[in-house]
Structure 1
Amino acid sequence: MSNAPALRFRPHHFLCSLGFQGKGYSDAFTANMRNIVEDRLRAPKGRDTLIKLTGYTDDICAPCPKRQGRLCTNQSAIATLDRSHAAALHLKPYETLTWGEALTRIKANVPPGALSTVCAGCQWLDYGLCEAALKRLHDKDEG
Structure 2
Amino acid sequence: MSDTPPLRFRPHHFLCALGFQGKGYSDDFTANMRAIVMGRLRTPEGRETRIKLTGYADDICAPCPKRQGRLCTNQQSISQLDRSHAAALKLQPHEELTWGEALQRIKQNVPPGALSTVCSGCQWLEYGLCEDALKRLHDSDEG
Q: How does 1:1-143 map to 2 (within 5 A)?
A: 1-143=1-143
Taking the aligned partners of 1:142 and 1:24, their CA distance within structure 2 comes to 26
Taking the aligned partners of 1:112 and 1:89, their CA distance within structure 2 comes to 14
> Structure 1 stretches of 5 or more lacking a match?
none
Taking the aligned partners of 2:12 and 2:30, their CA distance within structure 1 comes to 17
- CA drift of 1:122 comes to 0.1
Residue 65 of structure 1 aligns to which amino acid in structure 2? P
Three-state SS of the structure 2 residue aligned to 1:55 is coil
State the TM-score, normalized to the length of structure 2. Answer: 0.98
Residue 21 of structure 1 aligns to which amino acid in structure 2? Q
- CA drift of 1:3 comes to 3.0
Taking the aligned partners of 1:87 and 1:111, their CA distance within structure 2 comes to 14
> Structure 2 stretches of 5 or more lacking a match?
none
- CA drift of 1:98 comes to 0.2
Q: Deviations over 1:53-93 (max 9, x none)?
A: 00000000000000000000000000000000000000000
Three-state SS of the structure 2 residue aligned to 1:8 is strand
Taking the aligned partners of 1:4 and 1:76, their CA distance within structure 2 comes to 32
- CA drift of 1:141 comes to 2.2
Taking the aligned partners of 1:78 and 1:47, their CA distance within structure 2 comes to 26
- CA drift of 1:2 comes to 3.4
State the TM-score, normalized to the length of structure 1. Answer: 0.98
RMSD of the TM alignment (CA)?
Answer: 0.7
How many equivalent residue pairs?
Answer: 143
The answer as to whether partners of 1:2 and 1:48 remain within 8 angstroms in 2 is no
- CA drift of 1:136 comes to 0.2
Residue 12 of structure 2 aligns to which amino acid in structure 1? H
- CA drift of 1:5 comes to 1.2
Identical amino acids, percent of aligned pairs: 81
